[in-house]
A = this chain, B = another copy of it.
């Protein structure tokens, strides 16, 4: 709080917490607050955020509400999906991938309005503070960053509500008590953590899920769909061309219906602790399976295996908040290079929690029935070549075996 702050751009949801932050920033820094509310497809009305900001004294021209849905899917979700990125083997990185875009837009607004600081509502224990702030610093190295949760003394819900009431910040009825868990949502996923989820032995209660049907309540009949890919990106559902966000939204609908994309995970945060989270990634889970499916026939083995090795690192970088880093961009360059011919159609079966690839075809297929067939192959492959192949692959093992005599 030492440095004076003149004008700060706040990532503002319109909810209680960021409203308290809005007030607190003004009080603490005696500065002007600019609010930025992003539509990332989280499925909430955003105009109330405008009204609330106005009410709290933010100038109309300092209220930014931006629809970033297409940019989000096109420039963040799809590039990540090209990598088949999974954090710790299972998590589709739904929260992680949204943070860089929010940070980028916040910095753009800061430049536009001449702000010298940015602020966010992420706590000091989580990954999001890192993701936001690494983004801020990478894009505007000299920006001042204010992270109220690390600075203020509103260390309990009670104190927060007292503060809100004292400053005439409306407190919604359902926020009076502690909510039973904490959530984040965007078009790719909804996450929940904390409170009732904190014991990793306890099953996630069904009421925590909001984006997917319980598989047990999903239709008893499977549904078949197709997704078309061009250069590694989805372009059509069931033959109908769609923009990135439209496609993901449509897959979200299908995933919801069939109860697809639930994940109960204990993960390792970048800040060094383990946390238990619940994720729902309905459309993303289907898309991920489909992308692997189309790669199976269009990607060369060398490219595919290298991608699989790089994807672990790539996922870790995104999880840790290093989207705007040279090493993420280098990996992206490698991954994108591999996608030039990842074209074709994948057919999937959706059924009670599962999205299974059941067919794939492509004008660019590398699969050759002629070569692989158990039938006569008319010389496409000479089985005797395998003898030499094995002999030379074995040579070093034989030299070793002679020495070590296992």
Contacts and interface: CB of A to CB of B under 8 A. Distances in A.
B397 A274 contact: no
A272 B367 CA distance: 11
Interface in A350-406: 351-354, 356-361, 364-369, 371-376, 381-404, 406
A112 interface: no
Contacts of A307: 330
A271 B395 contact: yes
Interface string A327-368: 101110111111001000001010111101111110011111
Nearest to A149: B383
A341 B401 CA distance: 13
A337 B382 CA distance: 39
A108 B75 CA distance: 39
B125 A372 contact: yes
Interface stretch (A29-37, A83-91, A169-177): A83-91
A296 B361 contact: no
A390 B130 contact: yes
A198 B138 contact: no
Q: How many of these chains are in the complex?
A: 4
A182 interface: yes
B309 A309 contact: yes
Contact of A125 (B264, B321, B337, B386): B386
A79 B23 CA distance: 55
B367 A300 contact: no
Interface in A137-162: 137-142, 147, 149-150, 155-156
Given A302-B326, A351-B352, A360-B200, A385 B392 contact: yes
Contacts of A208: none
A272 to B, nearest CB: 3
Interface centre among A307, A336, A369, A393 (most CB of B within 10 A): A393
A297 B399 CA distance: 12
B296 A360 contact: no
Given A141-B401, A384-B388, A400-B326, A292 B90 contact: yes
B312 A309 contact: yes
Closest 9 CB pairs of A and B: A388-B388, A124-B383, A272-B395, A268-B301, A385-B388, A141-B398, A302-B327, A266-B296, A303-B326
Given A88-B304, A366-B399, 10 more contacts: A134-B394, A138-B406, A266-B296, A272-B395, A273-B372, A300-B397, A300-B399, A324-B397, A341-B403, A353-B354
9 contacts: A130-B389, A198-B369, A272-B392, A273-B396, A312-B312, A333-B334, A351-B352, A352-B352, A386-B392
